Structure 1
Amino acid sequence: MPTWIRLHVAAIRALLVLTAVLGVAYPLAVFAVAQLPGLKSRADGSIVRTADGRAAGSALIGQSFTGRDGNALKQYFQSRPSAAGDGYDPTSTAASNLGPESVLDTLPDPAAGAEGDQSLLTRVCSRSKAVADLEGVDGRRPYCTPDGVGAVLKVFGTRAPDGSVPRPSRVVSANQACPTAPFIAAYKGVRVECARPDEDLAAGLTVPVRGNAPAKPQVPADAVTASGSGLDPHITPAYARLQAPRVAKARGISEAQVLAAVRHNQTGRALGFMGEPVVNVLRLNLELDRDHPYGA
């Protein structure tokens, strides 16, 4: 048999063997293992069902608990923020890719048709204010204004050798568009101005202002930051405890009953030392619906 024929026959044999092993036998073996008790539920997507058997979601993928108007439903625990698409979109899993140096907003400019863009700092500040308003707690955070944007000044004047501006000639609250009143009236004796959306402030020195917020804010970090995937189904026990009084009041039950449900759906560190304790929001809300129906 000519050499070129023998090479083609060998290639065809290898193709058939690899197809049988990797294209048929291996997938069937994986499927069979996935059907074993204890694995089937996870292989099927860890679906969580309501008391009447309807699929409510996956225990591995977070979801929002809001009404048609987008506002939080007070009878439910709220998930952490999500940067996946419009929120918890499994087809668009992603983070915001904004880092700690993202403190300056791009202000909306209606005259130019520009929508603007929020910095990471302003996103954190606005979320903290929204959670505080919902839960009735103090939402102050370092470097945040009372109206929920980043407390950042742009300071203009002659620069010193170390880069500072000891004698400012002009100061602008960079993230507060006019006609909003700046969060502080003056800086180093100079009146602070609101920002004009069409003005370029790049030449000014960026000065974040810490303010009088407590070192440990009442609103936990997971309530104001999105996860890397944008699909985190868990919140911290601290965020769950913060929400417990609101949920208890909405459902007409005691706070102790709500906290008992929180403990039922809390998992500890993996192997006792990896990660942090977390609470599964979907399972928690379904348990409350089952044991303490809203409006019952």
Structure 2
Amino acid sequence: MYLPTWIRPHLAALRALLLLTVVCGVLYPLVITGIVQLPALREKAGGSMIEAAADGRLVGSRLIGQAFTGKAGSALPQYFHSRPSAAGNGYDPLATGASNLGPEDIVDVLPDPAPQKTGHQDPEARQSLLTQVCARSRAVGAQEGVDGSRPFCTAGGVGATLSVIGPRDATGHVNRPRRVVSVNERCPDKPFLATYRGVRVECARYGQDYSTGEILPIRGNAPKTPKVPADAVTASGSGLDPDISPAYARLQAPRVARVRKIPLRSVLDLLDQHTTGRTLGFMGEPHVNVLQLNLDLDRRHPSGT
């Protein structure tokens, strides 16, 4: 049967559509589904889920981090804890992602004191990345009984950032400040520095704009290498990282041993067993899967849970 010329391309496109639909939409998924059911692949294809040895309950995935907290939301001291998460309310696979805050994010958005008087939070308030790191380091230090101080952080756990206000030179720096404000310390807090270049340092007031000044982070006298490792105070890019560094795990080991009333050596030996080295000996960093380590702790030392 003769078909008009303009119809032939449309029929060819329709045949290609049907063929690709069958191959890519039916046959390919069936083949891949069959392949991943092989014994060597089934566990990974199913999400690398982990069961509790006692009753076979699913307790998590070795690929996704989780918080080890009680009913009130407080951290359980008998467990190792994961690194912070910026995915939703924490480790949410449906909200995976980072905070998208960089190293230059050092100025907080101070909360409005009015809603705080009625017990509400100011939704516009925001902590800078620097203040988040400082607050986490201080909290971890207090929990683990070590010095939680960090460069560019105040003793109160916020970013040590000044706005130096005054005329600028040709390079954009303020050489003769007229006013200096600790922008992350809200009045009536006492600033972490009394004076800067002979000028009294003021606390910050809500609603004031200090961006006209030169924004300067102040290093302070904290040790160059903090006691609290970096992965204890920063979230991963996905927000779902299930692993922590051996350094962070070892920092937590004395607390876990003390709460479980077991020798520290037992905890450290178990930690060594759960430390995975670099891939192929040179890719990545050594790491510890927190969920697997905690499950092994419960299996070997159930009396401490």
- Provide TM-score, normalisation by structure 1: 0.95
Q: Which residue in the other structure is 2:118 paired with?
A: none
- Which string of whole-angstrom CA distances, capped at 9 and with x for unpartnered residues, describes residues 177-210 of structure 1? 0111111111112211110012111111112110
Cα separation, 2, equivalents of 1:25 and 1:79: 41
Alpha-carbon shift at residue 7 of structure 1 (Å): 5.5
Alignment of 1:15-34 (within 5 A): 15-34=17-36
Q: SS at the partner of 1:91?
A: helix
Aligned equivalent of 1:111: 114
Matches within 5 A, 1:126-275: 126-275=135-284
Is 1:289 matched up with 2:298? Answer: yes
Distance in 1 of aligned mates of 2:264 and 2:280:
30
- Is the aligned partner of 1:42 residue 2:44? yes
* TM-score normalised by L of structure 2: 0.92
> Which residue in the other structure is 2:2 paired with?
2
Asked if structure 1 preserves the Cα contact closer than 8 Å seen for 2:49 and 2:61, the reply is yes
C-alpha RMSD of matched pairs (Å): 1.7
Partners of 1:183 and 1:10 in 2: CA distance? 75
Q: Which amino acid aligns with 1:224?
A: V
Contact residue 250 and residue 294 of structure 1 kept, 8 A: no
Deviates more, 1:111-120 or 1:213-222: 111-120
Distance 2:214 2:15 in 1: 70
Q: Give unpaired runs (5+ residues) of structure 2.
A: 116-121
Shift of 1:3: 2.2
Q: After the TM superposition, which residues 60-75 of structure 1 pair with which residues of structure 2 at under 5 Å, given as runs? A: 60-75=63-78
Residue pair 1:98, 1:120 contacting (<8 A) in 2 also:
yes
Structure 2: distance between partners of 1:29 and 1:267: 33
The C-alpha deviation readout for 1:44-70, integer Å capped at 9, x for no partner, is 100011112110001000011112332
1:134 shift after superposition = 0.7
Moved over 6 A (4+): none
The secondary structure found in structure 2 opposite 1:48 is strand
Tell me the alpha carbon deviations over residues 8-38 of structure 1, each in whole angstroms, 9 at most, x when there is no partner: 6555543443333222221111111111122
Match of 2:80? 77
> How far apart are residue 287 of structure 1 and its match?
0.5
- Measured after TM superposition, the shift of residue 154 of structure 1 is 1.0
Residue identity (%):
62
The residue number in structure 1 matching 2:104 is 101
2:62 aligned with 1:59? yes
Give CA deviations for 1:91-134 in whole Å, capped at 9, x if unaligned: 00010111111010110112375641111111110110111011
Paired with 1:128 and 1:115, the residues of 2 have a C-alpha distance of: 24
Deviations 1:211-258 (A, max 9, x none): 001111010000000000000000000000000000111111111111
The alpha-carbon distance between structure 1 residues 2 and 126, as it changes in their structure 2 partners (threshold 3 A), is same
1:142-188: per-residue Cα shift (whole Å, max 9, x none)?
A: 10001100001111222233333233222111100011111111111
C-alpha distance in 1, partners of 2:303/2:125? Answer: 39
